[in-house]
Chains A and B, each alone.
Chain A
Amino acid sequence: MAATPSLLDSLHPLETKVLTALHEAPSSASLREELIAKASGLDPSQLSMAVEWLLAKSLIKVESEKVIPIVTLTQTGEQYFEKYAPVERILSAVQDPGQTGKRLTIQEIQSREGLEPSEVSSAIGCLKKEGAIRIVQGGYIESTGNPSGTAESLRTLLQQLRGTTRELHLFPESLRRVIEQYAVKRGNTREPFRISDRIEREFSLTSEGQEAAHAIAQQGIGEEVSQLTPDLLKDGAWRAKRFRKYTISLRPPRIAGGRRHPYREFLDLVKAKLVSMGFREMRGSLIETEFWNMDALYMPQFHPAREIHDVYFVKEPTHAERIAEPFFSQVAAVHRDGWETRSTGWGYDFDEHRARRLVLRSQGTALSARTLAAGATVPGKYFAIARCFRYDRVDATHATDFFQVEGIVLGPEINFRTLLGLLDLFAREMAHAGESRFLPAYFPFTEPSVELHVRHPRLGWMELGGAGLLRPEVTLPLGVNVPVIAWGLGLDRMAMVALGIHDIRELFSTDLEMIRTTRAHF
């Protein structure tokens, strides 16, 4: 391999330093790591990185590898340095009977010095062997006055090795023996010294490495930079620099950007579509009275969907103070006997107290009822993306709170055929459906009622929504004298497909990683 310019350009500054150090080495062709470090000025971690890279690129090779035993202090060793080794402490205890006024037994020494039985017995064995102590009658231990070679050697070693590492062969024979005796071994880790192996490698340049180093030397070192800096720009020094080329095929580090929630993105799209079709947005309260949530929609108070197992009731306050007139009286009358609508009404005793009962909004249609009562413009189109609540056990297809997309269209031209026309428009605009069909349906507040089924390009036939003409029992008591379409779209299934999820609960996921990584396909 020739030292091509591209090879040179791809060298990291650390690599360049190592190559240069080896190239400039005065004596031989190979250098020990230690010397390379000194010559290149790299710290050990930088050096080992650069060496590994260069080995991988075959620019350097390992010339020789030697295993050298080295000695370090263990934690026990550090403690011995501070607080003395057991041999030193026992010697000092028996040399100084004045401290206690009496002679000591092994047990007394052990408890006085807070030593382990094994430490005491091996230290006493050693001192006795050296003739520094003797054991007299009664088990008392006395000093012989002779010095202990071991104690002295230990002290020397502890001082010499503190905070450093030395090769074992640098110590004289006598000390080496002490080190070996007091080194950590398997089964005995409480020793002051550790002998471990240091692998010392010598490196030399390969022929490619030599070419590269030569080329570097010719170009001059230090001219390559990786980051353009304001300073380089300021004084124009960049002109004399080479910029390291990057390996741009590597994956970049991940970042997290600001982003709309993918489900909200879907709902924003729906919102924009509806506005573009001429719909005005309605908003309202999460808390509703049963009146606006159900009575005004001509759902009789005994309707099964009004029971405690379908709607969430508010604990406190339980009832609204009042409901606006004349709607309250007129709706009550329409339930009782049809009021002025030419309907028979439901014919039951309408409970006005119950009408004021507060619930969590269970259908977006409550907003439509309020909009009608507030004086909707004629002709008019309205929509809401309303959070609704149902007393449902939460599972993969049921959420306890969810968004409902629904609204109304009112005006003199509204009839069953324009209702179908509107649904056709929704089928095309909302589901890009090529085909749609209308089926009779039942909702308490519309007659006729229609279900819209569409052939979705990806999902096949699916129910997209329900709609109908509001019953006169709904519109007239709210003061509306023109026909009104009420419509609702079930878009969650489309949203789930767009987001690639299978569980409705994931629309409101709490998993940030999932939210960050979900891509929507609209």
Chain B
Amino acid sequence: MPTISINCQDFEQLLGKARAASTPITAADIEGWLPLVKGELKDQDLELGELRIELQDGNRPDLWSCEGMARQVRIKLQGKPSSYPFFKSRHRPKRRLHVAPGLEEVRPYVAACAAIGYRVTEVGLAQLIQTQEKLGELFGRKRHTISIGVYQLPQIVFPVTYALVKPDEARFTPLGFEEKLSLGEILAVHPKGIEYGPIIAGHERVPLLRDGEGQVLSLPPIINSREIGEVKVGDQELFVEVTGTDLLMVILTLNILAANLADRGATIEAVEVVYPYKTRLGKTVRTPFDFGQARVIPIKTIESALGQRLGSEEVCRALSAYGYEARSAGNKVSVKPPPYRNDQMHAVDVVEDVAISRGYGAFTPLMPSQFTVGSLSRVEQVSDRVRDLMVGVGFQEIISNILSSRQELCDRMRLTGTAWEQLLEVDNVMSQSFACLRQWITPSLLRVESASTRAFYPHRLFEVGEVAVLDPTDDQGSRTVLTLGALVTHANANFSEIHSCLDLLLYYLGYPYTLEPIHHPSFLGGRAGQIISQSKAVGLIGELHPEVLEQWQVGMPGVVFELSVDALAEGT
């Protein structure tokens, strides 16, 4: 999840009076608070007081800014939620935003507010841009579900309209350009148009935000107007909007931005959004909007999940100190999440917040005491015996990647165009070297052999590993088979030597077998066999074809056998 930059001094200012100490805040102080926000310190520049912090929780976009992190810490230090009165105000907003019909098919939802009285500072602007970017990219899935615009409020004449227009119907100067372009040109030419254009492609008209005088604010989710949509240090009145495809995510995002700006001293003024179509919150939605619902949870649920008696008072204290509105109601607790969070799907989510608020160190570890019997699977037991025996016979064990290439698995083995060339392939190949799952072990051993011609001989290699075999009768179309492969190379390596190894192994395993001659392209004619047990083919043995050795640039004769360990596990 996102890695963000924050500044120690900025963090200190955002904590305000909540922090009693008068000494300047240090990186170590912040690191000590990181468990509250599931943050991990990635990097720091002590001179500049800059920290880079990775925030793990994908469901907590409210934490992806200096304001959000500081807020969580401030609440902990204060022991109670921060207050955001604008969520509770019942006055009808003086500013309105009208949504035009047709947008329900393209990008249906919008939320907006004004932020007044906060003079934008350099560090505040950097945070605003970072928040906009992280929320749009990660929470908004590359602006698909949400995108954010921030503007200079004084230049906007209300009401603002959110409507669909044809790409050649409007022109404006986008950020980063000097001259006016049509919407179609922006989509075709502007870097952001090229990057995000596909989100609104496939429709005759595109969404456009304009003010009461027809001035373009932005082409969401692509780019703002340069005239209105470029916020600068020193601006004191901002207009913030969020558009997107999921109403609650759109409003949550605006709530987060509003809380962030409020934390910096802005007064938030709501905007009334008027839809021509129904939404789950009605046709008129006042934003920011606190849609959080109180949830009643039995204290016992929390206590048994945590394994600790806490009592309702302690639960309420912990939750209040993490930002919830929590009220004790007998043996239950009523909890309402703060308006900038919407990640409580289940009571367990609240349980974790109780634990985080108290600190994981506040819980004494308790060893699970119920008795269980440990064991290995049957196939692993057989595999261990096989490996032991192979080591005893003098073989060096190998571990290989299972992903390989068709060239290694088939071409170099002379299997291309034969019945043995069926492979399980990857659809989204990153590198041709890792494009298929191996269907047998021998190529893995030859890969080692090929890289080791300077290691002194004899070479006796084996690997017990998984291979994937296509099988149309299987529900998933393939089976994973644990397979033993063994390879011997030296100047006098011959069939009888590898046969002796196989024979000894299967003697000790008590696994009767016979060899049946087989014509297999990887092996010399008349020197290859199938290993048959209980009238089932369970493996292969043979002397490698000189052409195979040439393909792998191996300068010694080589003999191999392969055996299904799964079959051994069933048959012994």
Contact = CB atoms under 8 A, between A and B. Distances in A.
* A-B complex is real: yes
A279 interface: yes
Contacts of A284: 480
B150 interface: no
**In which size bucket is the chain B interface?**
35 or more
Given A260-B391, A415-B305, A437 B379 contact: no
Contacts of B452: 510-513
Contacts of A513: 452, 454-455
Nearest to B372: A278
A425 B35 CA distance: 22
Contacts of B466: 286, 387
A421 interface: yes
Contact of A275 (B370, B375, B393): B375
Interface string A162-206: 000000000000000000000000000000000000000000000
Nearest to A254: B456
B426 A314 contact: yes
Contacts of B369: 413
B418 interface: no
A339 to B, nearest CB: 11
B377 A314 contact: no
Interface stretch (A43-51, A150-158, A227-235, A465-473): A465-473
Interface residues of A, number: 101
A447 B448 contact: no
B392 A420 contact: no
Interface stretch (A12-20, A122-130, A139-147, A315-323): A315-323
A512 B373 contact: no
Contacts of B393: 258
Interface string B406-439: 0000000000000000001111101100100100
B455 to A, nearest CB: 4
A439 to B, nearest CB: 5
B308 interface: yes
Interface string A388-417: 010101100001110000000101011111
B367 interface: yes
Nearest to A260: B397
Interface string B361-391: 1011111111111111101100010010011
Contacts of A345: 345
**Most chain A CB atoms below 10 A, which of B368, B377, B468:** B368
A437 B424 CA distance: 43
B391 A258 contact: yes
Contacts, number: 274
B348 interface: yes
A511 B458 CA distance: 15
B461 interface: yes
A259 B397 contact: yes
A511 B453 CA distance: 9
A315 B399 contact: no
B157 interface: no
A286 B480 contact: yes
Nearest to B363: A417
A258 B398 CA distance: 11
Given A282-B377, A415-B304, A471-B348, A401 B402 contact: yes
A512 B459 contact: yes
Interface stretch (B172-180, B259-267, B471-479): B471-479
A257 interface: yes
A409 B371 CA distance: 11
B402 A343 contact: no
Interface stretch (B158-166, B283-291, B352-360): B352-360
Interface in A464-508: 469, 471-473, 483, 507-508
Nearest to A513: B455
A342 interface: yes
Given A304-B58, A315-B427, A415-B307, A258 B395 contact: yes
Contacts of B395: 258
B497 to A, nearest CB: 14
A254 B307 CA distance: 59
A409 B368 contact: yes
B110 interface: no
Nearest to A312: B426
A343 B346 contact: yes
Interface string B439-476: 00000000111111011101111000010100000011
B479 A285 contact: yes
Contacts of A360: 403, 426, 437
Interface of B: 1, 35-36, 38, 56-59, 138, 141, 304-308, 345-349, 351-352, 355-356, 360-361, 363-377, 379-380, 384, 387, 390-403, 424-428, 430-431, 434, 437, 447-452, 454-456, 458-461, 466, 468, 475-480
Interface of A: 254, 256-261, 263-264, 268, 271, 274-289, 302-304, 308-309, 312-318, 320-322, 338, 341-346, 358, 360, 377, 379-381, 387, 389, 391, 393-394, 399-401, 409, 411, 413-418, 420-425, 437-442, 444, 447-450, 469, 471-473, 483, 507-508, 510-513, 515-516
20 contacts: A256-B396, A259-B396, A261-B398, A275-B374, A281-B380, A286-B437, A286-B468, A320-B477, A321-B476, A343-B346, A360-B437, A422-B367, A439-B360, A440-B355, A442-B1, A448-B305, A472-B348, A510-B400, A510-B450, A512-B461
User: Which 3 A-B residue pairings sit nearest by Cβ, starting from the closest?
Assistant: A415-B307, A512-B452, A417-B307
